[in-house]
Amino acid sequence: MSEKLNKILELASERRGSAAVVTIRGSVSISDAERLAEKLETFAAEKVPIVVLDLGEMDFICSAGLGAIISCHVKSRHHHGVIKLVAPRPAVRELFETTRLTKLFEFHDSVEDALAV
Amino acid sequence: MSETIRISSKLGQARQVEKLLLDEAEKFGYGEAAIFAIKLALEEALNNAIKHGNGFDSGKTVEVAFDIDARQAVVTITDQGRGFNPKSVPDPTADENLEKPCGRGIMLMKAYMDRVEYNKQGNQVRLVKRNG
C-alpha cells in the first residue's frame, strides 16, 4: 500500500480533436505538484477548450496537486474552457468530496464519456 | 518504533521521510485508509513546514519526530519559522474560497487524522492517527 502511494508521477497527454487528454499515473506528491501545474498550464495558455484529466491510475494527490488543477480551471474559464475529471479512485474521489471541489468539476466514468458530452 | 529525523528545507527530502513512516505503519498493520490519511497529513504538514515555515531556506531544517506502534501513529513536525495562527486560515470549503489554489492543508489534516494540534507559536504540529 505505501509503495503504491509513493509511486513516481507519470504524465502523458494527447490531443483528441480540439480537446486535450492528460493521463495522470502514480502519486501527485508535494515534490511533483509543480510538474503537474506546468503541464496543465500549457493547455490553459493554448486556450484548449476541453482538458480531460484521466485519474483512473492516480493513487494519490496532495493539496498542491489539487491547487494545480484548480489553477488550470480558473485560467481556462477565461476562454470558456472546461476541465473534466475521469474515473478517480475511491480515495481520491473522497478527497474531492471532502474539499467540496466536486462543486467545481464535472466527473465522468470514461474519457470517451467526457469527450462526448 | 520512535525516532527523530532532521531534514533540510527541500520538498524532495519529504518523500524519503514519508516512505520510512508509511513503511513503519504498514508493518504494524495499518489499513489502506489509515495509510492514505497519514501520507496526506505528512505531505501537508511537511509542505507547510518547508514552504511557509522555513521559506525554503536551505539554512533551516525541519524536525520530524515519530512514535508508531500497533495502537497509533504520532508524528510531530517542527520548523524553524516564526510560526502562524492556524485559526487565521480561511475555510477552504466555503463557496468564496473554492477556486483558491492554496489553503487546504490544515483542513485536510483535520479531516483525515484523529488529532491535529499546533503549539502556541504555530511552528509545530502534532498529528495522531489511531490504527483501526
ipTM above 0.90 for this complex = yes
How does pLDDT run across A56-81, given as a tens digit for each residue?
A: 999 999 999 999 999 999 999 999 99
A30-39 residue pLDDT tens: 888 999 999 9
* Dist CA A27 CA B62 (whole Å): 23
Would you say A110 and A86 are in contact if contact means Cβ atoms under 8 Å apart?
A: yes
Task: Report the chain B residue with the minimal C-alpha distance to residue A97.
Answer: B93
How much is the mean pLDDT over chain A? 94
Long-range Cβ pairs for the range B31-36 (8 Å, 24+): B31/B131, B31/B132, B32/A1, B32/A91, B33/A91, B34/B73, B34/B129, B34/B131, B34/B132, B35/A1, B35/A2, B35/A5, B36/A5, B36/A60, B36/A91, B36/B112
What the block records as the C-alpha cell of A66 is 489539487
Residue B43 confidence (pLDDT) above 70: yes
Q: What is the pLDDT of residue B64?
A: 97
Q: What is the pLDDT of residue A39?
A: 96
The H-or-E segment that residue B105 falls in is helix B105-112
Q: Which residues of chain B make contact with A2, given a CB cutoff of 8 A?
A: 19, 22-23, 25-26, 35, 39
CB neighbours (10 Å) of residue A103?
11
Q: What are chain A's domains?
A: 2-116 (3.30.750.24)
pLDDT of residue B111 exceeding 90: yes
Check CB contact under 8 Å for B43 and A63: yes
Average pLDDT across chain B, whole number: 95
Domains of chain B: 2-130 (3.30.565.10)
Residue A1 has pLDDT above 90, yes or no: no
Q: Which of A18, A76, A7, A11 is nearest to A47 (CA)?
A: A76
Residues A9-23 pLDDT 10s? 999 999 999 999 999
In the structure, what pLDDT confidence band is assigned to residue A4 with cuts at 50, 70 and 90? confident
Q: Is the pLDDT of residue A2 over 90?
A: no
Tell me the pTM.
0.94
Q: CB-CB: which of B98, B102, B112 is closest to A104?
A: B98
pLDDT above 70 covers a percentage of chain B that reads 100
Nearest CA in chain B to A95: B108
